[in-house]
Structure formats: structure tokens, C-alpha cells
Chains A and B, each alone.
Chain A
Amino acid sequence: QQQVKQSPQSLIVQKGGISIINCAYENTAFDYFPWYQQFPGKGPALLIAIRPDVSEKKEGRFTISFNKSAKQFSLHIMDSQPGDSATYFCAASTIYNQGGKLIFGQGTELSVKP
């Protein structure tokens, strides 16, 4: 019940295209859903996050869509750029319990071709 399942494992997108990464969770107590971006040899960096009281959040080219009833959320990267090539992790936590520890998905390796 603590798992977060992420797909696809890898994704190749042309420059200017839309990258879509999906995640599903089981624990209905989760109330915070961040996406992290990780470059090789670096630690994960927060990209964007959403709480279950909204269905969508947009920051620049990055949008999270959230479907509470389906227990799914996704990251959309509009106008994908070669600099977006990285590994993306979805995560989930319960803000007010268990110290807000994050449970991560397995990651999606994104490659944006010029």
C-alpha cells in the first residue's frame, strides 16, 4: 500500500514535443505529490508538487494533473528541450504523518532529441 508505480521506464521525445510521465498510488492517506528531476551524479531536485485539493498545477512548461478518484497523477512537460533530458521521479507522502517521508516511484529516464 506504500508503493508508487511509475511509467514509462524510459521515454524519447523530439525537441518541442510533449513528455508525459504517469504515476499511480494505493495509499489514500497520501496528501502531497511532488515530482523530482535528477541529473547524473546529482541529487534529486524538486520540480513541481501538488496537493489533492486541486486537479492541476502548472509552473512554466511543467504541469501536474491529478486524479484523486483514480489515484493517479502525471507530469506533462510542454515544448520539451534537450536540457530536460534527465531522470524524473514521482513521489508521495503524508505531510502530517510519518515525518512527511517521501515514497518514490521507480523513475523515468527522459531523452529529448534535438
Chain B
Amino acid sequence: DTGVSQDPRHKITKRGQNVTFRCDPISEHNRLYWYRQTLGQGPEFLTYFQNEAQLEKSRLLSDRFSAERPKGSFSTLEIQRTEQGDSAMYLCASSSTGRENTIYFGEGSWLTVV
């Protein structure tokens, strides 16, 4: 068990470019979450998957954002036509279902849009 892994850890991109982040959850976890965190704020929920099904999307997830978890294992978060307001840390987390569903976070992927 190596924990939740995110890649890349840092990304600088020009406004208008597309970026993609990858998340590898803890292997036995069937739930996977994406959060966004800006400086001085708590993480904000974006979306979550149970296995390969995307079960909830926040209104924060505009049409430029898309997340996938094709085989119920790793997940990708793509941001199209990036804007400066997209600059944030994108956190991935995972958990198992059931009573003890502790949510474990990865180290995050920092995005800077210039």
C-alpha cells in the first residue's frame, strides 16, 4: 500500500491550453474523489466515482472539466482551455465503502495557469 499517488505534482501551463492530471488510488479502494484547494481555503469537492461510475459532480465542475475512471482503478482529471482562475491544487482521494470509510488524500497536483 503506497497511498494515493498523483501525477504530475506541479504543472505550469499557458492560458487556453489543456492539462490532464492522473490519480492512482489505494489499490483496494473503490471510491475515488477529486477536490480543488486554493491558498487559504479548505478543499472543495469536485466529483467522485464508485468503481468506474461517476456518481456526483459539483457545480464547480464546469463544462471545461472532465473526469474519468475507465476501469475503476486510476482516474484522470482534464481541464480544457485553462483559465487563470483554474490555478489551484487538485487533490485526489480514495476510500472504501462501509462504516470505516476513511478518506485518504494524495499529495496533490499544483496547477499554475499563466
Contacts and interface: CB of A to CB of B under 8 A. Distances in A.
A1 to B, nearest CB: 15
Interface residues of A, number: 23
Contacts, number: 56
A31 to B, nearest CB: 10
Interface core residue of A91, A95, A98, A102 (most chain B CB under 10 Å): A102
Interface in A8-57: 34, 36, 41-46, 49
Nearest to B110: A41
Contact of B48 (A41, A44, A101): A101
A contact face: mostly helix, strand, loop, or mixed:
mixed
Interface string B6-27: 0000000000000000000000
Interface of A: 6, 34, 36, 41-46, 49, 89, 91, 95, 98-107
10 contacts: A6-B42, A42-B108, A43-B93, A43-B105, A44-B91, A91-B42, A95-B101, A99-B55, A101-B48, A104-B42
